Amino acid sequence: MTNGPLIVQSDKTLLLEIDHEQAAECRRAIAPFAELERAPEHMHTYRLTPLGLWNARAAGHDAEQVVSVLLEYSRYPVPHALLIDIAETMSRYGRLQLVQDPVHGLVLHSLDRAVMAEVLRSKRTAGLVGQRLDDTDVVVHPSERGHLKQVLLKLGWPAEDLAGYVDGEAHAIGLQQDGWSLRPYQEQAVDGFWHGGSGVVVLPCGAGKTLVGAAAMARSQTTTLILVTNTVSARQWRDELIKRTTLTEDEIGEYSGSRKEVRPVTIATYQVLTTKRKGVYTHLELLDARDWGLVVYDEVHLLPAPIFRMTADLQARRRLGLTATLVREDGREDEVFSLIGPKRYDAPWKDIEQQGYIAPADCVEVRLTLPERDRMLYATAEPEDKYRLAASAPGKNTVVEQLVAKHEGEPTLVIGQYLDQLEELGEHIGADVITGATTVPERQRLFDAFRSGEITKLVVSKVANFSIDLPEASVAIQVSGSFGSRQEEAQRLGRLLRPKGDGRTAHFYAVVARDTVDQDFAAHRQRFLAEQGYAYTIVDAEDLGLSAGASEGEPGDGDTTGRATARDD
């Protein structure tokens, strides 16, 4: 028995004592296979799940390595039954394989006859497989490749897809590396993806996921379909590809609400692909418009459900998912695993920070006490109205004003989700406001003005959560969000993590109403970042010299029942 920082329990939970001197290295060691569940002050709780262990297995970690980490850092003897369970769970990955047979085409091959018998007896596989060749092989129609992988994962036997990919239409793409080169972790990410064939690369915001995508395209040398969150993101991808690769403007098409260009490299928005008319996805033909050799999914944690269904039919194409976090609030991480591919590379945020590639960040939760009138309004509200009332409490306007003044002159983003709250804040601090209703040209104009330093303050809705490159931003003040969304918290901090020219620390503030669901949701939102090693300092608004009270007649004191959520498009 050692004095390690980890307590490994038979219910598959891991307790990490964060004040222990080995806590940081232990957290890095368990990150590839354990998921953080709770992160209070002194003891963080992780859980071992089949999906987490299968992701680790697909990324090249074997059961022996996982067991070794647990034995090395555990304070007490590790339950023997748990070690056996880890080994057996990880051994399930790859006992079924999808392979290409020269005679029969796509075949499901089993390394274990009993496993094949089990899955073929399941009603779920009926209609997905064809002729039984022998005890270990059954023919699969190519169109069912994705659907079968989904079913097998749910049956507890994730298939390793070794069937290969169509070459796709060749198209020359090179990297313009004059004055820059891929960072070591970006090279490793591309190598991990290419060796695995398809899958997901997880990198912090600001760590250059677009460059990983560009390098994968250069490795593929084929026509490429890139799916992104919105039109602004599409144009940032285009600009970056023109700058970093040999591609010209004429070779890159935009497929969005305003343009319908199909070119050797086509960048399409999720929104346009999922647009329905009379119950039909009218732009589905884009998936077959070219013989795509590579499909890139930006912000894969935000994939809409219809995109999963479309992806099930794209299994013969190489697929690369890019994200800062595999956390999905809808719990569909298994769909990402089976249809895009397993996690191929994951770099802890703090490791990239220590290498100087992203900025250090100071995270502060500023808690304010609601005035008596607002507390009574909250206490007597219907449950569905409580978060809106707490998140858009009028007292937050004053806190934001004073935080902005504290960082006067620094590029500052104020982020929220309620439209009238954002409009009020824009008036309070004299800043432009960007929401889903802001036109794309106007968004681009304001973002460009912010990047150039012409303006130093912006109030933004959820449209700035993802795929918006604002490297100069060094302060973010969050006033409201999508309830307890961990992925949103990560994206919002990510707006600040581009390295600063002078090496300064970024500041991320979450303004929270005390004794409300706002405070409860804040704790949940912070879980992913706590897993990455970011500790939140909790301070009272008054301790910062900030006054949170709202006087009678202050803007926002009136009826709040008409508050609306900002559109996210």
Distances from the Cα of 317 to the Cαs of 152, 153, 166, 364, 550, in angstroms?
A: 20, 20, 6, 44, 57
Q: Which residues contact 260 (CB under 8 A, 6 or more apart)?
A: none
Specify the CATH number for the domain of residue 267.
Answer: 3.40.50.300
Please report, rounded to a whole number, the percentage of residues in the chain having pLDDT higher than 70: 91
To the nearest 10°, report the CA torsion of 200, 203, 207, 210.
Answer: 20
Domain final position from 49, 69, 92: 92
How many domains would you assign to the chain? 4
Q: How far apart are CA 54 and CA 317, in angstroms?
A: 22
Q: Looking at residues 387-409, what average pLDDT do you find? A: 90
Residue 469 confidence (pLDDT): 66
Q: How far apart are CA 258 and CA 248, in angstroms?
A: 21
Least confident of 126-135, 280-289, 490-499: 490-499
Of the residues 92, 123, 143, the one at which a domain ends: 92
Residue 179 within any structural domain of the chain: no
- 312 and 424 share a domain? no
566 in a structural domain: no
- Rounded Cα gap, residues 134 and 315, in angstroms: 25
Q: Give the phi and the psi of residue 259 in degrees, each rounded to 5.
A: -135, 150
- pLDDT given for residue 294 in this prediction: 95
Q: CA 489, 48, 29: angle at the middle one, nearest 5?
A: 75
Q: Is the separation of the CB atoms in 293 and 317 below 8 Å?
A: yes
How far apart (Å, rounded) are the C-alpha atoms in residues 249 and 267?
12
Q: Do 374 and 326 share a domain, yes or no?
A: no
Neighbours of 96 (CB within 10 A): 24
515-526: buried (b, 16+ CB within 10 Å) or exposed (e) per residue? ebbbeebbbebb
Query: What is residue 569's predicted lDDT score, i.e. its pLDDT?
Result: 40
Which of these, 184, 251, 513, lies nearest to 366 by C-alpha position? 513
Question: 222 and 294 in contact (C-beta within 8 Å)?
Answer: yes
209: in domain? yes
Same domain, 271 and 332: yes
pLDDT given for residue 484 in this prediction: 58
- Give the pLDDT band of residue 28 (cuts 50, 70, 90): confident
Residue 176 counted as domain residue: no
Among the residue ranges 133-137, 287-291, 429-433, the one predicted with the least confidence is: 287-291
- The phi, psi pair for 296, rounded to 5°, reads -110, 130
Q: Which residue has the higher pLDDT, 475 or 525?
A: 475
Domain co-membership, 196 together with 337: yes
pLDDT of residue 161: 93
Partnered with residue 74 across adjacent β-strands are 6
Short-list 482, 491, 493, CA closest to 387: 482
**pLDDT digits over 363-382, tens only?**
888 999 999 998 898 899 89
Question: Does the pLDDT at position 345 exceed 50?
Answer: yes
80-89, 115-124, 325-334, 447-456: which range is least confident on average? 325-334
Cα–Cα distance, 107 to 125 (Å, whole number): 14
Give pLDDT, residue 438. 87
This prediction has a pTM of 0.78
> Is the pLDDT assigned to residue 393 strictly greater than 70?
yes
pLDDT-derived band at 317 (thresholds 50, 70, 90) equals: very high
Give per-residue pLDDT as tens, 235-267: 989 999 999 999 999 999 999 888 899 999 999
Domain that holds residue 108: 96-161
Mean pLDDT for 119-126 is 94
Token pair listed for 108? 């499901």
Question: Residue 471 has what pLDDT?
Answer: 66
Assess whether 329 and 417 both reside in one domain.
no
CATH number at residue 156: 3.30.70
